[in-house]
Structure 1
């Protein structure tokens, strides 16, 4: 899954792809309509690759949650984020049974399902790609160990 350059910008709808950095901030392109915007350094911006979801055993990366949704839906669309809260929590429990119900709110589940829908429509989420990304991350670590020997 290629969410390394995907951003959520507070106060702006949808998700954005980081295009380039400028002296005063950066330029991002909307995944919804393709419009480019400039974002100042004072804006509250979150990289999707840095977001985690609370579980009873700690935290799990958003990329893994999105992959779990892709596996459940066979890379197809997920449940609409506009469903009622009980249905959303039941669905999310099927995807991530160990999520912490006291710290993960219905609004968080809505946001995750909305993001999944946007990423899935652009082909940025897949049930296979996370494994390949994990393998590429681990390969350089093995090279470092070999270099130290």
Structure 2
């Protein structure tokens, strides 16, 4: 399950799986035991987790939620010791441990609670998401190394093809008159 398939709905608690679009909105299913479905119409504010990020003070203006979840998984694993009902100091300490340069003025306590609740929900109902993410990160690192090695070879191939095409064009031109003379004789 990718974060582009999971949404948060303004005014509703929990996370929702995006099932399919309709004429008037999108069909969502809650990610919990009840699996309730409803249609979020155009007036409902639906935010995909893929598009959410946390403000930072650093060079980059924000860190995508996907990266934050990966950092939490690397540091704490599937279970974390804080919850949405933890004290503000505990939540702040937790977020600082994961994103040390988060913007303390723009990231509110409610945002920290959502982060913890969302991570707990996803790790509970989609644990493969984090194991797949860690394996895909290592695979992407390996493929980037392979691509770096393969790039010079790829650059040489088009030149070789161009040289072959030139040769074949010349050969065709030379072969055509010979063929014509052979037919006449």
TM superposition score normalised by structure 1: 0.83
Q: Provide the C-alpha distance between the structure 2 equivalents of 1:82 and 1:106, rounded to a whole number of angstroms.
A: 11
Shift of 1:127: 6.1
**CA contact under 8 A between 2:82 and 2:90: conserved in structure 1?**
no
Residue matched to 2:27:
27
Is 2:139 aligned against 1:126? no
Structure with the larger RCO, 1 or 2 (CA within 8 Å, 6+ apart) = 1
Structure having the higher strand fraction is 1
Is 2:134 aligned against 1:116? no
**RMSD between aligned residues:** 2.6
Can you give the 5+ residue segments of structure 2 that lack an aligned partner in the other structure?
A: 159-185
**CA contact under 8 A between 1:54 and 1:99: conserved in structure 2?**
yes
| Length, aligned pairs only | 143
Structure having the higher helix fraction is 2
Q: Provide the C-alpha distance between the structure 2 equivalents of 1:41 and 1:130, rounded to a whole number of angstroms.
A: 35
Can you give the 5+ residue segments of structure 1 that lack an aligned partner in the other structure?
A: none
Shift of 1:76: 2.3
Give per-residue Cα distances to partners, 1:23-63, cap 9 Å, x unaligned: 11111110022111111111111000000100112110001
Is 2:62 aligned against 1:64? no
**CA contact under 8 A between 2:54 and 2:65: conserved in structure 1?**
yes
Q: For the structure 1 residues 127 and 87, does the alpha-carbon distance in structure 2 shift closer, same or farther, using more than 3 Å as the test?
A: farther
TM superposition score normalised by structure 2: 0.68
Greater than 3 Å deviation, 4+ residue runs: 133-136
